[in-house]
Amino acid sequence: MDAPARFTRDDQPGARWLIVSGEIDLGVADALIDAMTHLVRDADGHAVVDLRRVTFLNSTGVNVLAAASTDAAARGLRLLLWPSPQVRNVLELTDLDEHFEFVTPRRARRHLDHRPAQEAMTSRPAPPR
């Protein structure tokens, strides 16, 4: 059995960050919902969910991420995911990868270095203005 799930905030200039690790399943759903709700509520532009340390994600976790993404969009925010290979695989298998925006390592590193981002932090191009 992997380590229990952990949810840690690591807010940075320009974005609110939630670092998630461990297994995400029904047993931690309430804690994940609480963490995601606070993340989106506290954000004022970007909300980033670092899932690189997540070792397991089932439909419960996927549903929480999807609901948070919808909530963020309704508030005019961007919810960005930085998935582990396991999380990315689940999202691709469920055809939900198109529903989310993903952080690229280069842009995340720049953000974590506390330098202001001059462009979007996602792997998708910004829509034309």
In the chain, where are the structural domains located? 33-42+63-82+112-124
> What token pair was written down for 28?
């931690």
Q: How confident is the model at residue 4 (pLDDT cuts 50, 70, 90)?
A: confident
Helical ranges in the chain per DSSP H: 29-42, 59-74, 85-93, 105-112
* Stretch 19-24: mean pLDDT: 96
Inter-CA distances, 58 with 21, 93, 114, Å:
14, 12, 33
Give percent above pLDDT 70 in the chain. Answer: 79
pTM for the full model?
A: 0.80
The widest CA-to-CA distance across the chain, in whole angstroms, is 48
pLDDT tens digit sequence for 57-88 = 999 999 999 999 999 999 999 999 999 999 99
Which of 76, 12, 15 is closest to 47 using CA atoms?
Answer: 15
* Stretch 16-41: mean pLDDT: 96
Q: Is the pLDDT at 17 greater than 70, yes or no? A: yes
Residue 17 identity (one-letter amino acid): W
d(CA 3, CA 38): 23
